[in-house]
Chain A
């Protein structure tokens, strides 16, 4: 559900880099419950370098 909501917020693109493939929810530490307000939608390279 979070991902679907984030896809809408992010216009189906990585919220940092802007690309549209390999998108997943990245829960922002600390206390990562993965909720909509505590996450971003990010693609592979952005997630790997966090």
Chain B
């Protein structure tokens, strides 16, 4: 079995396009706030998306509406991300690698013990998280991580 640690290139969303959300999130109108919140939730594998979402402050009514499509929430039990010990991970957590992991398509190795800060959860795969190692965005298998 190969180690599936690879570069994070398979985005079907144009993440750069959505940089506009860092402005629209401050719009005074509820509908615009709600859509900004939902799109940012979908972008939580990007550290800037996480940061923006943390800064957002929706009123209760708007937040209820924003969450009505369950955007940003695990769809079911099978999409809960767990580390090597079965501990549930959240977007923004810090994890430590429990073994040396070669990074696919490069000669780099992410060393055991490396802390990966501000992880993102891959929405449609409970075994994948995203994070930065040596300044490079990579996808990491949850089974090789330990939440710290």
Interface residues of A (CB under 8 A from B): 9, 15-18, 26, 28-30, 37-40, 42, 45-46, 49-50
B residues sitting closer than 8 Å to A (CB atoms) are 13-14, 17-18, 20-21, 23-24, 27, 29-32, 34-36, 39, 65, 68-69
> What number of A-B contacts does a CB cutoff of 8 Å give?
46
Contact between chains at A18 and B23 (CB < 8 Å): yes
A-B contact pairs, 7 of them (CB 8 A): A15-B24, A17-B24, A37-B30, A40-B31, A40-B32, A42-B35, A45-B14
Is the CB–CB distance between B20 and A17 below 8 Å?
yes
Interchain CB contact under 8 A, B32 and A49 = no
Given the known interface contacts A30-B68, A49-B13, the answer about A39 and B20 at a Cβ–Cβ threshold of 8 Å is no
